[in-house]
Amino acid sequence: MTGVRTARTDDRSSRADGDVLVRRYDELYASWKRQKAIAAAMRSSRDGGPGDDADHASTSTQVDEQDALTGVLRTRLHDLATALERCDDGSYGRCEECACVISADRLELLPAAIHCVGCNQRREGG
């Protein structure tokens, strides 16, 4: 377990949640930077590398996949940054829809979660 807790009103818990979120953000940021470098290197080899049209098409597909992964990581970084803002204002760990506490298990898996399981299921139609 990484230590993400449910919403609490005391400063110690909020600070601990924030510390965990900052660690996760830093780890994800490092992954995003690596991924971005991989995509740039692949793009460079595609644009100036040897090979025929089939090779270039294959490399283009791989570059597109790497760019998509870079975008997913960027979105996750934004979500974690938003979670840190909620931690700062005291709303982290509370469902934005019903204001109930989001379970510690859910926050462990999805630290940027903004809805409890029940509200999330209703939103997804399940």
Contact of 114 with 123, CB cutoff 8 Å: no
pLDDT digits (tens, 9 = 90+) for 28-63: 999 999 999 999 988 887 766 677 778 778 888 999
pLDDT for 92-123, tens place per residue? 999 999 999 999 999 999 999 999 999 999 99
Amino acid at 38: I
| Domain assignments of the chain as residue spans, ordered by start | 11-90
Report the C-alpha gap between 85 and 91 in whole angstroms: 9
